[in-house]
Amino acid sequence: MLPTGSAWKQADSSREPGASTPVSRTQRLQRLEKNQPKGPETPEERLRRLARRVDSWTESRSDKSIWQSWISIAPKTRITLGLGAIAFSLGGLYLADYLEKQYPARNNRSLSTKALKQPLTLPRLLPIGAAPLARGYASSSEPYDVIVIGGGPGGYVAAIKAAQGGLKTACVEKRGALGGTCLNVGCIPSKSLLNNSHVFHQTQHDLKSRGIDVSEVKLNLPQMLKAKEGSVTALTKGIEGLFKKNKVDYLKGTASFASPTTVDVKLNDGGEQQIEGKNIIIATGSEVTPFPGVEIDEEQIISSTGALSLKEVPEKMVVIGGGVIGLELGSVWSRLGAKVTVVEFQDAIGGPGLDSEVSQQFKKLLEKQGIQFKLGTKVNGIEKQDGKVMVRTEGKDGKEQDYDANVVLVSIGRRPVTKGLNLEAIGVELDKKGRVVVDDEFNTTCKGVKCIGDATFGPMLAHKAEDEGIAVAEMLATGYGHVNYDVIPAVIYTHPEVAWVGKSEQELKDEGVQYKVGKFPFLANSRAKTNVDTDGFVKFLVEKDTDKILGVFIIGPNAGEMIAEAGLAMEYGASAEDVARTCHAHPTLSEAFKEGAMAAYSKPIHF
């Protein structure tokens, strides 16, 4: 059993024969020094004596102030120690200056530290002299604890978390801007356009009923796009600031494996650099899945990237794919004035995981906004004709139909980015879809190499990648990390929003799970009424015998914000009754969430 409290003092001391009180190590050293025979000291003896003095001074710091400890040392010894500290400090400064001249661009980070640039006061001399050696600046080839390839939501979060855990960390990003697809050409810019296009549409069509008369409303598309870019720039710069704050080395360039522990970086500004890492995390994300035989020019035939930067509102737009991305971007240009048609091969919109009842209601609401849908329809070809684009389709009944458009948005999914990493050379296995094969702890088939985010299994969601980034960094720093894949939410940021977490009715039926349903409409919610925004409902799916929440689906205002409460409840294994008995502020939209839970375990009050 380990000693505790004052017992530590007893354990850290020894008793001389016949002594009734413990004798400290310092006292023994002092007696030994006192009993030394007089005579000239050899250099070795002098070093030992000085070492004992330093040891004695260090131990006494627990009982005395630093100054008292310092003056207790003989004057000659103080002078010797002071001169030694100065010499050591100057040597460290000289070494740092030499290394900075030899390696001026090491990891895009100066070798100088704030400490080296501060005035040389006596109390700081020893730390300053030791700093360059302690931080490992003596060699540019010293390995990192962690190298992250990719600076998207998963990669940059993993890098910061690893650095916060005390691991020497570097992050390589080829884009030249941190944040990945999500921040630069995905989630963030699309949300800017979704919000501002909604405001524009609401101003055009909804203000009069609210008692607001507006004489004329005009779209300034260049300014709307400028506002989008401003948001993106501010956030990317913010991540760079977080890297500096947490001392993450940021390399702008393209990475490839030279060995399981070595990464070659082709720098964006020219030149190459090789870095070593004890652990390497692949977080390279995903890219747009191309349509077979069709070239994306980002002008008439566009991907999600091009859909964020159209120079004018098209008269007609065809969206190929009725998943999250296609519906969000299609709704943006529909609100701004385009006639939008969505062609989807499946019989429902919203993608896998969305409850069929919610999907049907969602489709009706988007149709009310003017979007047309062609479900159960495949695209046989896309051709440019006379300045327009022709989309040739075929229904399940074999009937063919052509649609002409000014712009065609190809939104049929995304695929992992793994090409160019030289994974085959280090034995990293990929599956048939190009995803990196990993185990439960993100380990690939190559020891020391891990993978997270869109490049491996699971839903391609930024917040899923972020959670994996935190988990893998914690595993490396502490040996433990955790992601609960049963409670990862999904959101479609149209208006109204659609959000869900957990399992749908179809999934529960397939698994043979007995469940109950609780629903509550926003039409009966007081805050939704006052906001004149009552479309949609909250739907709970709970286990029949235990009342445990298995899934929650929300279609309505602020669904993306409200779904977090469902995720929290499910993370802790809450029942519908637990949620229903939790007081929710009035009047709020969240009361609809509470009453949905009440409907599942008993009965709602207001419906």
Asked whether residue 453 falls in the same domain as residue 526, the answer is: no
Q: What is the pLDDT of residue 43?
A: 58
With cut-offs at 50, 70 and 90, classify the pLDDT of residue 12: very low
Asked whether residue 400 falls in the same domain as residue 429, the answer is: no
Select which of 482, 495, 586, 606 is catalytic: 586
Q: What is the CA radius of gyration of the chain?
A: 32
- The closest alpha carbon to 110, from 244, 241, 238, 242, belongs to 244
Q: Which long-range contacts (CB under 8 A, 24 or more apart) does 468-472 make?
A: 468/154, 468/158, 468/442, 469/153, 469/154, 469/155, 469/156, 469/157, 469/158, 469/159, 469/161, 469/283, 470/157, 470/158, 470/161, 471/442, 472/158, 472/281, 472/441, 472/442
CA atoms within 13 A on the CB side of 520: 26
Asked whether residue 475 falls in the same domain as residue 341, the answer is: no
pLDDT digits (tens, 9 = 90+) for 356-412: 999 999 999 999 999 999 999 999 999 999 899 999 999 999 999 999 999 999 999
Asked whether residue 281 falls in the same domain as residue 422, the answer is: yes
Asked whether the bond before 459 is cis by omega within 30 degrees of 0, the reply is no
Residue 498 burial (10 A CB sphere; 0-12, 13-18, 19+): buried
Tokens for 219, please give them: 């779209």
Asked whether residue 471 falls in the same domain as residue 334, the answer is: no
**Element of type H or E holding 274:** strand 272-282
pLDDT digits (tens, 9 = 90+) for 271-293: 999 999 999 999 999 999 999 99
Q: What is the pLDDT of residue 477?
A: 97
* Number of compact structural domains in the chain: 5
Tokens for 290, please give them: 């191309």
Asked whether residue 434 falls in the same domain as residue 576, the answer is: no
User: Whole domain around residue 329: which residue ranges?
Assistant: 301-412
Asked whether residue 392 falls in the same domain as residue 424, the answer is: no
Asked whether residue 157 falls in the same domain as residue 125, the answer is: no
Q: Which amino acid is at 592?
A: A
512 in a structural domain: yes
Answer whether residue 80 shows pLDDT above 90. Answer: no
Quick one: CA dihedral 347, 350, 351, 352, positive or negative? Answer: negative
* pLDDT above 90 coverage of the chain, percent: 75
With cut-offs at 50, 70 and 90, classify the pLDDT of residue 350: very high
- The closest alpha carbon to 590, from 551, 552, 550, 547, belongs to 552
Task: Give yes or no for a contact between 277 and 263, defined as CB atoms under 8 angstroms apart.
Answer: yes
521 in a structural domain: yes
Asked whether residue 315 falls in the same domain as residue 408, the answer is: yes
Quick one: CA dihedral 181, 183, 184, 189, positive or negative? Answer: positive
282 in a structural domain: yes
Ranges 126-135, 246-255, 298-307: which has the least confidence: 126-135
With cut-offs at 50, 70 and 90, classify the pLDDT of residue 215: confident
Last residue of a domain, one of 463, 486, 509: 486
586 part of the active site = yes
Q: What is the pLDDT of residue 41?
A: 55
pLDDT digits (tens, 9 = 90+) for 558-588: 999 999 999 999 999 999 999 999 999 999 9
3-state secondary structure at position 358: helix
With cut-offs at 50, 70 and 90, classify the pLDDT of residue 96: low
Asked whether residue 574 falls in the same domain as residue 427, the answer is: no
With cut-offs at 50, 70 and 90, classify the pLDDT of residue 99: low
Tokens for 445, please give them: 């088939």
Answer whether residue 3 shows pLDDT above 50. Answer: no
pLDDT digits (tens, 9 = 90+) for 426-439: 999 999 999 999 99
Asked whether residue 447 falls in the same domain as residue 522, the answer is: no
Asked whether residue 447 falls in the same domain as residue 306, the answer is: no
325 in a structural domain: yes
Q: Alpha-carbon dihedral of residues 584, 589, 593, 595, nearest 10 degrees?
A: 70
The whole-model pTM stands at 0.77
With cut-offs at 50, 70 and 90, classify the pLDDT of residue 11: very low
Q: What is the pLDDT of residue 5?
A: 38
292 in a structural domain: no
31 in a structural domain: yes
State the Cα–Cα distance between residues 46 and 366, nearest whole angstrom. 87
| Phi–psi pair at 360, nearest 5 degrees | -65, -45
369 in a structural domain: yes
587 in a structural domain: yes
Q: Which long-range contacts (CB under 8 A, 24 or more apart) does 111-115 make?
A: 111/137
Answer whether residue 482 shows pLDDT above 80. Answer: yes
Task: Give yes or no for a contact between 87 and 125, defined as CB atoms under 8 angstroms apart.
Answer: no
Q: What is the CATH number of the domain that holds 509?
A: 3.30.390.30
Q: What is the pLDDT of residue 553?
A: 99
Q: What is the CATH number of the domain that holds 348?
A: 3.50.50.60
Last residue of a domain, one of 91, 115, 134: 134
Q: What is the pLDDT of residue 129?
A: 34
With cut-offs at 50, 70 and 90, classify the pLDDT of residue 142: confident
Answer whether residue 458 shows pLDDT above 50. Answer: yes
How far out from the chain centre does Cα 284 lie?
A: 12
Neighbouring residues of 327: CB distance < 8 A, sequence distance ≥ 6: 319, 342, 349, 350, 366, 492, 494
Last residue of a domain, one of 360, 386, 412: 412
Answer whether residue 466 shows pLDDT above 90. Answer: yes
